[in-house]
Structure 1
């Protein structure tokens, strides 16, 4: 009997987790730890942060840095809390684990995943993949997954654009932007601290300001000009506030940890008139603009629309029309007001005029990966693709990487019945490529015995070389017998390569 599956969408900001058979909606747990800098220096792990009332005295530590898991000591503490009976009550030896990883993950980080899952927690089996490999099992693109699509994933610490061909990610077309929600929060924190109040230690307050007041501009130049227009005096002799300006009332950090925003035209809170307020004008739309123009802060990288164009160009020409029509967006940083409208207008300028551009937005961009993983974890395909602990002990992390990224991944998503003509064209291209590879393999088979004979001739003595030379000349003239082929060396078992120790996993 197949073991139950526990899904762990290991995000840089929050962990979305639950049992595939029991939890259609995930539980969100912060992926971080914090310690008080005063008093008893109490440690708060993951969901325990809800009990803390002195966030201004916390020293935060996170396992992810720019989308890469760099601190396994912190991650293990968080996972211990998630698997504990107080949170999810997970028994690893009786379960299978489905865990997500960032696109184009580093090999040493992937090997640390394997060692942590099988050596530290001893799960019965597990499967590791990216969010893009799970999205085709959901309903982001509709009831059926199209043959070609583009996935835009903008999370806490990165933004990735992944092309999908028949539900399988195309690694050559993946594009990355080093901008996520964390960088935008830090940039807004720096601007507000320079222009108004010192807020470098109030990151959670600045994040709430970003979520409440920031939006994506549809015309950045026009909004910049409107934000700097000086309003004329009204009938009462006062200068009215700018229409784009909004205010945020700061919390007192004693009875409340978060503030609240005020409606347009109001600068003071009627319920908290003594609390200071922060006013935002051009900051409201200049922060999300970094996703479309990273060069605004000196990052020499392409914007989001240009990355989508490059990802579509990596697909076969027959599949590009479907890719322009199926562009999905997930992740917390895609929840700004006006994000999809701006992305569609930017992509429309770069798309061919006879192609239609359609943006598919998830109902819940944060939990979309988890909800897409649930039907996959409940299917038979998952247990066929999952790697067992016995296989890990036999082949190690290097062999496990080949199993998880092998030919089985190509059959992860069935090909839908729509767009039959385009699918036939793609199959014809693949058949031509397979034929070319087959001819190359036949040529290699003819070359290998000759090289083996030459190597065998180098090992013998001078007399032996002379004898071999006579036999070769005789066989070339048709009067002699050819040499028997040299047997190929026995393959080295994968287990002989060894595995990294647990200390190496922690160092990684």
Structure 2
């Protein structure tokens, strides 16, 4: 029985699962910790690390492109191996994602690894956004156009699709992603209160727990200047010590000591305007010296590069995916800003799926059930006969 494995191979997490099963979200990297320097942990072995302080990541991706094949192979060996998915390569097709504008050298390496090393029966290389668009069109069959905003670890991509095909003239990339936000937060905290430059893992968790997208930046700035309990932005975050406190958490407001000092041995971060100033980078990259458009402007710019009669259809089908879209307030802010930049006679609608991190994986699952799926893939026999050329011809990347 032929099965299909869907792998949305992101720069931060791999979303993987058989098309007949559910998805698992697993770190797409290896780790070493300060305490156990000699041991390398792979993917979901992260849970085995007793003391994740000073944890450093060894990532297969750099700046959004897969460059470290040794690390990627180790992660894939782990995922495809007997502890995880027990892949029977000869009877399995794989749908695997790759970045937009990927380098042909990377594509060739991927073909070789999938067909020659692992010997999958068949493969389909595709952009994650194309899978998200496929899912959106399946669920909204009356719509012909959508624009996928994929704000991930390395980049934010804005890609318009019409009748399932991506419109290359409208593709826009902003060099701001989750990694940059975490690094920015590390710098602010290190400058203001505590040296955390080595604590990527912990501060990434802080970001996910406390950051939000402001709906009115100047109003929040005024609140953040207030003293004591009137400052509703201020938050105290208890850092993990990895013995009694395994995971950091926000102190409940009623337990906060506004005079600043706590008697207990807890290590506290006091966060104010960085809670919204860090995610603001997605909307104004120039705040930290990156001379690029923010997401709402880039959406409008992307649509304006497309034929006039199609533009209204894109504005009413804006789909948010990727981990940054989970920041509280993200959807509302994108809507508000795009609305203010768009002619009033256009309808604007911004959709945040229930699970924006796995949305493209779900699109891959749907695609694998498509009656034309066998026409889309390259089989190992095709590849052995024709080499990379056949992949280049067939995969519209």
Q: Do both share a fold (TM > 0.5)?
A: yes
Task: Tell me how far 1:37 sits from its aligned partner.
Answer: 4.2
Helix, strand or coil for the counterpart of 2:340?
A: helix
Decide whether aligned partners of structure 1 residues 288 and 320 sit closer, same or farther in structure 2, where only a CA change above 3 A counts.
same
**Could you tell which deviates more after superposition, 35-44 or 207-216?**
35-44
CA distance in 1, matches of 2:205, 2:137: 27
2:225 is the counterpart of 1:251: no
The residue aligned with 1:442 is none
Q: Which moved more, 1:288-297 or 1:170-179?
A: 170-179
Name the counterpart of 1:12.
Answer: 11
1:156 aligns with 2:141: no
Matched with 2:72 is: 75
Of 186, 197, 205, the match for 2:194 = 197
Change (3 A) 1:352 1:384: same
In the TM superposition, 1:201-350 aligns within 5 A as 201-229=198-226, 231=227, 239-240=228-229, 242-264=231-253, 266-267=255-256, 273-350=264-341
Q: Could you say which residue in structure 2 is the equivalent of 1:179?
A: 176
> Paired residue for 2:57?
60
- Cα deviation code 1:140-187 (max 9, x no counterpart): 884426111111010111110000111211122110111111110110
Q: What is the TM-score normalised by the length of structure 2?
A: 0.94
For 1:115, the equivalent position in structure 2 comes to 112
Q: How far has the Cα of 1:40 moved from its partner?
A: 6.8
Residue 395 (str. 1) matches residue 394 (str. 2): no
Verify the 8 A CA contact 2:238 2:249 in the aligned structure 1. yes
Distance 1:121 1:172 in 2: 36
Aligned length: 395
From 358, 363, 366, the equivalent of 1:372 is 363
State the SS of the aligned residue for 1:248. Answer: strand
Tell me: CA distance 1:145–1:263, structure 2 relative to 1, closer, same or farther (3 Å): farther
Q: Deviations over 1:243-276 (max 9, x none)?
A: 211110111122333211023364359x993202
- 1:37-48 alignment, distance < 5 Å: 37-38=34-35, 41-48=38-45
Distance 2:322 2:63 in 1: 15
TM-score, normalised via structure 1 length: 0.74
Whole-Å Cα distance in 2 between the matches of residues 38 and 240 of structure 1?
Answer: 40
2:99 is equivalent to residue 102 of structure 1: yes
User: Quick check: 1:357 aligned with 2:348?
Assistant: yes
Q: Note the residue ranges of structure 1 that are not aligned, 5 or more in a row.
A: 232-238, 407-508
Aligned in 2, Cα 1:39/1:103: closer, same or farther, shift over 3 Å?
Answer: closer
Structure 1 CA distance for aligned equivalents of residues 188 and 36 of structure 2: 32
Question: Counterparts of 1:346 and 1:311 in 2: how far apart (Å)?
Answer: 15
For residue 335 of structure 2, give the secondary structure of its aligned residue in structure 1. Answer: helix
Q: Secondary structure at the match of 2:253?
A: coil
Tell me, in whole angstroms, the C-alpha distance in 1 between the residues paired with 2:360 and 2:276.
Answer: 27
Is the 1:267–1:277 Cα contact (8 Å) retained in structure 2?
no
Aligned pair in 2 of structure 1 residues 57, 281: CA closer, same or farther (>3 Å)?
Answer: closer
Deviation at 1:380, TM superposition (A): 2.0
Q: Give the gaps of 5 or more residues in structure 2.
A: none
Corresponding residue for 2:87? 90
Counterpart CA distance in 1 for 2:251 and 2:231 is: 14
